[in-house]
Homo-oligomer: A and B are copies of this chain.
């Protein structure tokens, strides 16, 4: 449960009081921010514990899903679509949002546990290809239903209308954060 944030969020009155000392503190913004992380952490943690009970972590699950989705879209798109799925460590790292060094470690343990297989790329000897093993595909078929059930159970408290509103607000917040992140790091010119 990586995020590690106060389990007991400060009460709104405390935020109001602190705002007197720090003019930059916007109480309703801080409340929304803290509650966003809190809810996300709780939902994530529930899933992470289920994954752990099945012997995988969030990082490993992401990699497996990417490889699996890559396989399927390739199949669905027909043979012409060649390699649309990300299959090199670097493309997996990009898609997961981690560094290549981290992906090396993830693939190491996945390969050790028999979920993926590394093979050198014949065309470019710098590159490797990563493939799911049958064991991993069987694992996903067994695991995914429980994963989806948990997701559904968490969101079962929201009506379809509420879910639409929820997603709309989340997208707004996410895009704003992404915009701010890009603005604060204009480096990659």
Give chain A's interface residues, CB within 8 Å of chain B: 1-8, 10, 14, 17, 22, 24-26, 28-33, 35-46, 49, 58-59, 62, 65-66, 69, 76, 94-98, 144-146, 148-158, 160, 162-167, 169-178, 180-181, 184-185
Complex Cα gap A151–B30 (Å): 6
Quickly give the copy total for this chain.
2
Given A33-B154, A158-B169, A158-B172, decide whether A6 and B96 contact each other with a Cβ distance below 8 A: yes
Using CB atoms, name the residue of chain B closest to A12: B167
Chain A: interface secondary structure? helix
List, sorted by A's number, 26 A–B pairs whose CB atoms are closer than 8 Å: A1-B97, A4-B62, A5-B58, A5-B96, A6-B66, A6-B95, A6-B97, A8-B95, A24-B145, A25-B144, A25-B148, A25-B152, A26-B148, A29-B152, A29-B154, A29-B155, A32-B155, A33-B154, A35-B167, A36-B40, A36-B43, A38-B174, A39-B40, A46-B184, A157-B173, A169-B169
